[in-house]
Chains A and B, each alone.
Chain A
């Protein structure tokens, strides 16, 4: 039998048509951009974040038996087992560098989605750039409420924002008041970028609605060489509760300066950030017994959901640290984004956006104490309940809300 050129062509066309598209995708990778401060004054955050994302990518790309989306089996089944490849970019906590690096990720590295950024101020420019290129952006850990209110189509956030967090704080104050504890006056201490100002605005509004008096509202310049003047004003006000919204460097200096100036706050209710970082407790943990911070994660959860403990160990093997409020959300950020890409069965920005918008993930398949993940029309998940954590005896325990609390709050802060 002779084979004509026509037969060869036919055969080739037929086999090309029969070969599933997925087979071609099998060799390909899904490239996701991860943008964090990897150098500069908050490099520590970025370096820890890198470990959290690598842990998540490892779980997606290899076969693990966790009740977590994409853990079982290798890669993304929706794309024929394509592996997730992360490209890290460094924004140095600078919104302009964030913009430039995002452009580079999208145009040079050809990422199909971007996750970031720690600093809310940087998330503003990164998400705008993504919107322009129609590439989905997921805020893994930004907490400023104004981020999702800008009506961006490609913006998503699974974790709570600072209005939800602040509300949890005031719910806690109200509950304490009902029990007869005196909480009348508050001091706000916040840094001067969008994180600090949004947080303070939310707290000021809640305070006036619920009848608390703000006796000091101190906005300070981030990374100050000295906070003496600021602490003096806090000391003079001596409120029932001090409410800091500070990144790590300022948090360390704040606590040290308070001790130097002989100011022992009656209670501290912190807006996370520096107050979740190991570095702070390594430096001045002895002065922070009883400090309360909002959070969206707690290792307590490992008792109810064993995979949380195992994944924490995997992360710890890489970073030498336990998951904290940030690294846990960064880990979840990649799982959520990869899950959407998997359902989209495509690396097209618009298709991933649609898949993200259709996300409905029950909380018990995450490592977070969330009810579920379902974004509203602005891309915000409203089913993620914040928790309040208290630093007692060298670790954090969940004290609110009631449903997930493992112990009663110690109030006021033990004085020593």
Chain B
């Protein structure tokens, strides 16, 4: 094992980790806001990737240009999902937790089924995009440009999100609704509106991640599954509800995954992630940055 291999591993892990963070951010935001785990999070990612792919295939719009469009479309989609499905699921009188799980889980299965029916299960790839296939070589360490761009976007998204949550009225309303949804109603904040915007924002974040991932990853109806699993671990590791915890945890997951593969056989590389996760669960059950 040379120094070069180690640096390459860490660099690749960091890039991937930032992207994991971006994928998990929306999940953490929604959970933090209303204690609902969106089990269709991976499918949100999947439709964002398909949207990017089809915009490229039919209108030749490069993923760099379509990323904001896809994020905006996902914003609308997320808000609609809240207004049409989740809003009713959280009102359940009995077994509310189960109803929420089945509502979003069912949504996930429906989305996958529809995607397979309409888009066929073929694996699609964007073949020639501006960034696709380009790679930077710095002293023998290779940094693929699409992942590099994804990492930058993730950092930018978190900076914007930080100011948004801490410095704007809507951000404060978000925080307040999360603290006490009953009390905010008394001061004239429409809870449903805040929740719908929260779902929209969460979906837009994963939409952004999906648009960038479509540059370097294949798209098919089940693509969300493996990334969603990592997103759940990331959110749990970072602390349920903490958006910035998800960011930090994403980086940790990426780095741990990369370093595990240096020590153990690659087929065991996710062992490292789950070992760290278990450790956190034992030592600090609310997650690294959890405030619950």
| B123 contacts A44, C-beta separation under 8 Å | yes
Residues in B neighbouring A40, C-beta threshold 8 A: 222
Residues in B neighbouring A310, C-beta threshold 8 A: none
Please tell me which one of the listed residues A41, A46, A228 contacts residue B12 in the complex, with CB atoms under 8 A apart. Answer: A228
Name which residue of chain B comes closest to A236, CB basis. Answer: B5
Please tell me which one of the listed residues B217, B222, B269 contacts residue A253 in the complex, with CB atoms under 8 A apart. Answer: B217
| A261 contacts B258, C-beta separation under 8 Å | no
Instruction: Assess whether A204 is interfacial by the CB under 8 Å rule.
Output: no
| A229 contacts B218, C-beta separation under 8 Å | no
Q: Which of B1-57 contact A (CB under 8 A)?
A: 2, 5, 8-9, 12-13, 16
Residues in A neighbouring B16, C-beta threshold 8 A: 225-226, 228
Instruction: Assess whether A259 is interfacial by the CB under 8 Å rule.
Output: yes
Describe B's contact surface by its main secondary structure: helix
Smallest CB separation, A230 vs chain B (Å): 5
Smallest CB separation, B148 vs chain A (Å): 10
Instruction: Assess whether A47 is interfacial by the CB under 8 Å rule.
Output: yes
Smallest CB separation, A359 vs chain B (Å): 33
Quick one: given A43-B116, A279-B123, are A232 and B269 in contact (CB under 8 Å)?
Answer: no
Q: Which of B120, B121, B137, B142 has the most CB of A within 10 A?
A: B121
Describe A's contact surface by its main secondary structure: helix
Q: How far is it, in angstroms, between the C-alpha of A279 and the C-alpha of B262 when the chains are bound? A: 31
| B269 contacts A252, C-beta separation under 8 Å | no
| B269 contacts A248, C-beta separation under 8 Å | no
| A282 contacts B125, C-beta separation under 8 Å | yes
Residues in A neighbouring B125, C-beta threshold 8 A: 252, 279, 282-284
Q: How far is it, in angstroms, between the C-alpha of A228 and the C-alpha of B116 when the chains are bound? A: 28
| A283 contacts B135, C-beta separation under 8 Å | no
Name which residue of chain A comes closest to B121, CB basis. Answer: A43
Quick one: given A47-B120, A226-B16, A236-B5, are A221 and B220 in contact (CB under 8 Å)?
Answer: no
Q: Which of B253-292 contact A (CB under 8 A)?
A: 257-258, 261-262, 265-270
Q: How far is it, in angstroms, between the C-alpha of A253 and the C-alpha of B219 when the chains are bound? A: 11
Quick one: given A39-B116, A44-B123, A260-B142, are A220 and B266 in contact (CB under 8 Å)?
Answer: yes
Smallest CB separation, A29 vs chain B (Å): 27
| B266 contacts A283, C-beta separation under 8 Å | no
Instruction: Assess whether B230 is interfacial by the CB under 8 Å rule.
Output: yes
The 4 closest A-B pairs by CB, nearest first: A229-B261, A43-B121, A283-B125, A260-B144
22 pairs from A and B in contact (CB 8 Å cutoff): A43-B221, A44-B123, A44-B220, A47-B120, A47-B121, A219-B266, A221-B267, A221-B268, A221-B269, A225-B226, A226-B257, A228-B12, A229-B262, A229-B266, A229-B269, A232-B5, A232-B12, A249-B220, A253-B218, A259-B133, A261-B8, A261-B144
B residues touching A (Cβ–Cβ < 8 Å)? 2, 5, 8-9, 12-13, 16, 112-113, 116, 120-125, 127, 133, 135, 137, 142, 144, 147, 216-218, 220-222, 225-227, 230, 257-258, 261-262, 265-270
